[in-house]
Structure 1
Amino acid sequence: MLLSSSGGLPLLKSGWLPWRPPLRQRAEELRRQIARFESQPRDPKASDQKTSSGEALRQAVDREMRRRIDSVLTGIERYRHHPHHRDLADPPVVWREGGTRLLDYGPPGGRPVLFVPSLVNRHYILDLSPGKSLMRWLPEQGIRPLLIDWGTPGPLERRFTLTDYIAGRLERALDAVVEATGRPVPLVGYCMGGLLTTALALRRPRSVAGLGLLATPWDFHAEDAAVAKRAAAFFQPFGPALERWGELPTDALQALFAQLDPMLALKKFSQFARMDPASPAAAAFVALEDWLNDGVPLVAAVARDALEGWYGRNDTATGNWLVGGLPVDPARLMVPTLALIPERDRIVPPASAMALPKVIPHAEMIVPPLGHIGMVVSAGAEVGAWQPLARWLSATG
């Protein structure tokens, strides 16, 4: 995108670029600024003042382009050689099936809560580092978090559908927790995990004491249906290969998420290039980036259901999402429900997430000024998300 800046300059000046409505006013103001710049003399000896000014602008754009590219590459190189690595030891494993583990963060006398992360990211975003771990903070509040680690799909999981994950593996994990603790437990799902726990709570109401939803999408067409449909279209070229691979590779998933904010990598690595490599901020950046790059593939049937069904057809909001042959209808949920919806979420638009608690009877909604990942690891996460969640969990059931 940066490399095309010089080539796009004539199109910008001529007004030929088709800007989206939110950007048209800014683009027009930029055109006016360029016109003012080119109207100013640049070289008194030049016979063609306009050409001289235009060349000066082109050179200025070229210099800025090179400066930004250098900043991005510097940031990437410093990230690759940064010494930080995650060295947190896993807590005890209290249940296991296939590649899936259930991690018990204690304490034994705390209020048990089953946490369910997304299938496409590693579980340890909720246990990222000593100072940024929701799982290690909650026990100090009297909560006993039990966290699902989905692991990497193996030969068995590659045949799984969403029904296999929810009505099979996740139900059996819930059974293990209820049997060990002797009581119904609240469920908390993060992102895609919130969709899984919503379906689970409908299937097993007597085992569920409450439902916490963290940045959980529901109406995939609420804010920008075109973006959601592009995600579904992105899936199409991989269709034939999915049958052979049995999964959608991590690199393909990374490319899909990159479409949500194409400039994000440029911005974040440029910012990292300006950080002191020995600073806590630099270590925090590396910890999060390592997690982002430690993705897991999505098994074929789930990838198809999520991209074609959720993103493409909006099956969730239209009532057409089925698990075990039954519709997932959140209007039938009778358990206490809290939805934490970060207002600066670029991965799950707030309008998409708000659609779910709006149809759950008596659901509570909190909208902290955080981002999708920031709600669990940022400096404002404890006050904006962790504390409200802990208070609600302590009072639930």
Structure 2
Amino acid sequence: MNEIRTSRRQSAAEPQPDGITHPVPVAPPVAAPIHVNPVHQMLALPMGAEQFRTPFPIFTESTDRLMHAVQGRYTNALSPASLLLAYLDWLVHLANSPGKVGEMAQNAMSKALPLARFTVDSLMGRTDPDPFAPLAQDSRFASEGWQKFPYNVMSQAFLYTEQWWHYATTNVRGVGKHRQNVVEFTARQLLDMVSPANFFLTNPDVIKVTTEQNGQNLVRGLQNLSDDIMRNLTGRDYVKDEKFQVGKGVACTPGKVVFRNKLIELIQYTPTTDSVHAEPILIVPAWIMKYYILDLSPANSMVKWLVSQGHTVFVISWKNPGAEDRDMGMADYRRLGVMAALDAINAVVPGQKVHGAGYCLGGTLLSIAAAAMAREGDERLASVTLLAAQTDFEDAGEIMLFIDESQVTYLEDVMWDQGYLDTKQMAGAFQMLRSNDLVWSRMIRQYLLGETDTANDLMAWNSDATRLPYKMHTEYLRRLFLNNMLSKGRYTVEGRPIALTDIRAPICAVGTTKDHVAPWKSVYKIGILSDTDVTFILASGGHNAGIVSEPGHKGRSYQIATRADADKYVDPDTWAMVTPKQQGSWWEPWQQWLVANSSGQITPPKMGAPEAGYPPIADAPGLYVLMP
């Protein structure tokens, strides 16, 4: 009994999922003390049970974690166990499915005959239609050189192999959906490595350029390779052009840092109009990268454009965490980030509500903060804008290939060792999702064709990555990606669950058509998770370029529609089919939506609020954005 009471006393001091310790009633001690074995007390086990547990659990767990952390340096933080389990799941079920194996053989033969006929016709000089077509996004074999023998046969043989392996790794009865996706994705990655487009002797475009330039392209390619190796060894920035340096060519909209704590700097931007809309805007960027994705060059800076439209704009600039910040959790990011910023804005612009706008992870955090505020009756938000931000992670795209119990546990151990998730470990996962565009095509272009990418502001920002603290990223992966707690009403803030249905402020959600990080259909789900008016905008482009879509940008388009709270649900495919497409930037209808949810014009507020403890302390972009 005494051991059980000891266990209860220990559990009473354990932090809850939100990171806050909540006291619970503890049974009073018994009158007569009873001798307790120290091992029993440490393990909280009944007498005689110590043989089932080691007396050194912390040591053994640390040993396992250390081994995984060392392995992770060589596996790019990918769990070997997760990959092996997926492979074995597919292999065992396939071996026990003779019908599927027979279909695979039949499929191979039925597709081999057209390939053989195509090969013979090509040898004889005939130009028959290609028997196999690449995927819509695959442009590796689009040039004229791939239409000539023998390169046309090589490309068709590769596409034949690619299609057969897709057939072999999908629709095997009994294989879990997640593991099937992992096997299919892995097979595709391995095939992409041996694509004929990746090699000098089997790529007609490379051979043609080499002939025309007398091999100078290969000399330049060798120099590019050498530069890349040196950059990786020294950590030198990718973009060397000074016009894209932070504070000079990017993140250069005038403003002041009016608040700083151990996690954020809050930047207030200098007004450029005689009057401003009454409600200021708070932008909550993702902390996975630097904030200035929304303040790039002056020509495509969302911040500068909003200021020019008469808005008072505040932006959170996150600190780049180090090992000392390993225990920063989601609760800290909400409390020291969004809530602290709102307190400062209320002091600078007193008596006014705030338009909240969150990008990517910042949008998810903003939705959590908004739901918690609504639960407490805090009505300081005039509206909520979610830019490529998810609130339901059930269909979070191909990034879910790296999210399962084995992978998350392995990643936790990697972060446990160093205190954070390193930028290279994050970049590796995202590059794998688009390996043709981000890895292989770049290698062909730079190392074989000898080309050099033209630097731009988006590339400069993309090379300026940040780290993620151990506790925060563990909570983010487990509570949101793995267990999808937010959409199910089980995400806790200060010990109690929150619900997105409590939000009454109008919501504007923006998705992008080619987003591989936050697929637009996943972003669209906010419409069935909330009980308020929701305006959804579907913009052309990808996760970053689709959001950075300034007015005047050629080729941009968008669709927009509003669903009132009482309206019936429309599924995303139907919505995309019936909603008219409009040319131009989605920034303009969004800004009109902000104005429609504002209360008029006021005189621009002064910079900071010294009398309230928020004096301007530095010029924008501040110090945190410059942290390596």
Shorter-chain TM-score category? 0.7 to 0.9
Distance 2:509 2:333 in 1: 22
Q: Which sits farther off after the overlay, 337-346 or 175-184?
A: 337-346
Choose which of 346, 350, 353 in structure 2 pairs with 1:184.
353
Residue aligning to 2:120: 39
Contact 1:143 1:390 in 2 (8 A): no
Residue aligning to 2:433: 260
Q: Which runs of 5+ in 2 are unaligned?
A: 1-106, 126-148, 159-194, 207-216, 229-237, 559-583, 599-628
Change (3 A) 1:222 1:147: same
Paired residue type of 1:235: V
Give yes or no for the alignment of 1:384 onto 2:585.
yes
Distance 1:132 1:41 in 2: 49
Distance 1:56 1:348 in 2: 36
Contact 2:323 2:418 in 1 (8 A): no
Change (3 A) 1:295 1:43: same
Residue aligning to 1:207: 380
Partner of 2:435, secondary structure, is: coil
Contact 2:322 2:467 in 1 (8 A): no
Cα deviation 1:52-82 (Å, max 9, x = unaligned): x999956998864325696999596699576
Residue aligning to 1:66: 199
**RMSD across aligned positions (CA):** 3.8
Give yes or no for the alignment of 1:363 onto 2:363.
no
Q: Which runs of 5+ in 1 are unaligned?
A: 1-25, 45-52
Give yes or no for the alignment of 1:320 onto 2:490.
yes
Shift of 1:207: 1.6
Shift of 1:305: 1.6
Shift of 1:203: 2.9
Alignment TM-score, normalising by the size of structure 1: 0.77
Partner of 1:390, secondary structure, is: helix
Alignment TM-score, normalising by the size of structure 2: 0.51
Contact 1:370 1:384 in 2 (8 A): no
Cα deviation 1:72-102 (Å, max 9, x = unaligned): 9959669957635332336311111124111
Distance 2:302 2:539 in 1: 16
Shift of 1:177: 0.4
Give yes or no for the alignment of 1:307 onto 2:440.
no
Partner of 2:115, secondary structure, is: helix
Distance 1:231 1:93 in 2: 37
Shift of 1:133: 0.7
Distance 2:122 2:415 in 1: 60
Distance 2:401 2:196 in 1: 37
Residue aligning to 2:288: 120
Distance 1:213 1:64 in 2: 39
Residue aligning to 1:231: 403
Change (3 A) 1:54 1:214: closer
Q: Which sits farther off after the overlay, 267-276 or 226-235?
A: 267-276
Choose which of 298, 301, 313 in structure 2 pairs with 1:130.
298
Contact 2:512 2:547 in 1 (8 A): no
Contact 1:125 1:376 in 2 (8 A): no
Choose which of 458, 462, 473 in structure 2 pairs with 1:292.
462
Shift of 1:31: 5.0
Distance 1:155 1:55 in 2: 51
Contact 2:334 2:365 in 1 (8 A): yes
Residue aligning to 1:102: 266
Contact 2:239 2:463 in 1 (8 A): no
Distance 1:92 1:102 in 2: 8
Partner of 2:466, secondary structure, is: coil
Give yes or no for the alignment of 1:85 onto 2:244.
yes
Distance 2:331 2:355 in 1: 21
Residue aligning to 1:171: 339
Cα deviation 1:346-383 (Å, max 9, x = unaligned): 11111211111332222211212232112232433893
Distance 1:28 1:166 in 2: 58
Shift of 1:223: 6.1
How many percent of aligned residue pairs carry the same amino acid? 23
Change (3 A) 1:76 1:231: farther
Shift of 1:275: 12
Paired residue type of 1:386: W
Distance 1:41 1:194 in 2: 54
Contact 1:118 1:190 in 2 (8 A): yes
Cα deviation 1:266-321 (Å, max 9, x = unaligned): 476379769997xxx9343xx22222221111111111122222222222222222
Distance 1:168 1:82 in 2: 34
Shift of 1:41: 7.3
Partner of 2:464, secondary structure, is: coil
Give yes or no for the alignment of 1:249 onto 2:422.
yes
Partner of 1:351, secondary structure, is: helix
Distance 1:176 1:376 in 2: 27
Paired residue type of 1:85: F
Residue aligning to 1:145: 313
